[in-house]
């Protein structure tokens, strides 16, 4: 903080998230993240800290999770202008599954439907709950249907086999305990997808001279980046474009930027257009860092978290 490399908000996050730990455990968690803080936004710092806390003391983390599971609840809070907030406190995988199911129901938009996605989610939840018990809303009872909800968890094979307790990553939520990851992975309806990599983490199956990345390349890049790589942007990677850092040459693909994970990164549409316009430039170094150069000459570095657990 004295030289301005770590912000006050990041230091507060470190203190807050490690507050309940024993001193030695708190120091171990700090050691895992401290060198990365200068390259991270506050949001990325908080995610890294939560993951570090799970990693350095997985048994205590599991115990805390089980205690918190007993506190699951639904809370209704009155709001101004005749509104209310309905909040569900539940284990992270359950929350992610509920949100994914809402998206499945809410994303199809009928012709002439002017509602936003958030509005359709809210209406969908209301219809699913009230319709399932026969309550009429706006004069119409809504029927419910079973739809699959997709929840993505990134977890190392050693964690799945129980030989270590490294935390996993639940997309859209953040780090979860190894026990939670195994519970999801060994569930009755779980589907496993593997990414075959070399010992150094390089993906083996790629097609570098086609503009569109292979499914495995796309999956790896989105899992690795997790959000837009522009400094401070937290747009989730599944909602981002995959951009070539060194531009792809459509006329002579072998002489342009290759379609491989090392030359791809997730960019939200806004920052993709900003890069395409040439006002900002970007490059990736060999240490997993993405370096952005502003029109003013300032340089900003973001670091992607490991895509394995």
198 domain residue, yes or no: no
What's this model's pTM, rounded to 2 decimal places?
A: 0.54
Burial of 76 (0-12, 13-18, 19+ CB in 10 A): exposed
Per-residue pLDDT reduced to its tens digit, 251-302: 887 887 888 888 899 999 999 998 888 888 888 876 667 888 888 888 888 7
Q: Is the pLDDT of residue 27 over 80?
A: yes
272 domain residue, yes or no: yes
145 domain residue, yes or no: no
What mean pLDDT is predicted for residues 200-214?
66
What mean pLDDT is predicted for residues 229-235?
85
Domain count, the chain: 2
102 domain residue, yes or no: no
What distance in Å separates the CA atoms of residue 177 and residue 169, rounded to the nearest whole number? 9
135 domain residue, yes or no: no
| pLDDT at residue 242, as a whole number | 92
Q: Is the pLDDT of residue 221 over 90?
A: no
112 domain residue, yes or no: no
| pLDDT at residue 172, as a whole number | 67
What mean pLDDT is predicted for residues 136-146?
39
Domain with 31, as residue range(s), is 1-56
21 domain residue, yes or no: yes
Token duo for residue 28: 């171990």
Which phi and psi angles does 190 have, rounded to 5°? -70, 145
164 domain residue, yes or no: no
- Rounded to the nearest integer, the mean pLDDT of the chain is 80
Among 61-70, 126-135, 144-153, 163-172, where is mean pLDDT lowest?
Answer: 144-153
């Amino acid at each position: 903080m004295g030289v301005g490399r770590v912000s006050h908000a990041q230091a507060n996050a470190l203190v807050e998230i490690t507050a309940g730990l024993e001193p030695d455990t708190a120091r171990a968690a700090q050691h895992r993240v401290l060198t990365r803080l200068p390259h991270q936004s506050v949001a990325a710092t908080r995610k890294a800290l939560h993951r570090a806390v799970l990693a350095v003391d997985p048994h205590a983390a599991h115990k805390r999770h089980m205690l918190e599971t007993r506190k699951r609840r639904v809370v209704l809070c009155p709001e101004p202008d005749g509104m209310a907030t309905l909040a569900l406190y539940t284990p992270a995988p359950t929350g992610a599954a509920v949100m994914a199911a809402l998206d499945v129901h809410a994303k199809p938009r009928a012709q002439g439907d002017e509602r936003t996605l958030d509005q359709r989610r809210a209406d969908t939840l209301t219809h699913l709950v009230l319709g399932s018990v026969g309550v009429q809303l706006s004069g119409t009872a809504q029927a419910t249907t079973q739809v699959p909800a997709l929840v993505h968890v990134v977890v190392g094979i050693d964690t799945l086999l129980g030989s270590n307790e490294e935390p996993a990553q639940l997309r859209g939520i953040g780090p979860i305990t190894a026990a939670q990851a195994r519970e999801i992975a060994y569930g009755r309806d779980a589907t496993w997808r593997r990414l075959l990599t070399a010992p150094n983490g390089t993906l083996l199956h790629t097609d570098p001279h086609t503009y569109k990345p292979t499914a495995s390349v796309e999956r790896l890049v989105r899992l690795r980046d997790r959000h837009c790589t522009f400094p401070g942007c937290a747009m989730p990677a599944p909602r981002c474009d995959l951009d070539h850092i060194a531009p792809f040459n459509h006329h002579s693909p072998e002489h342009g930027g290759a379609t491989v994970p090392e030359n791809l990164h997730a960019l939200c549409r806004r920052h993709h257009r900003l890069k395409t316009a040439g006002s900002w430039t970007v490059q990736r170094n060999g240490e997993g860092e993405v370096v952005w150069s502003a029109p003013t000459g300032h340089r900003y570095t973001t670091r992607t978290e490991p895509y394995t657990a």
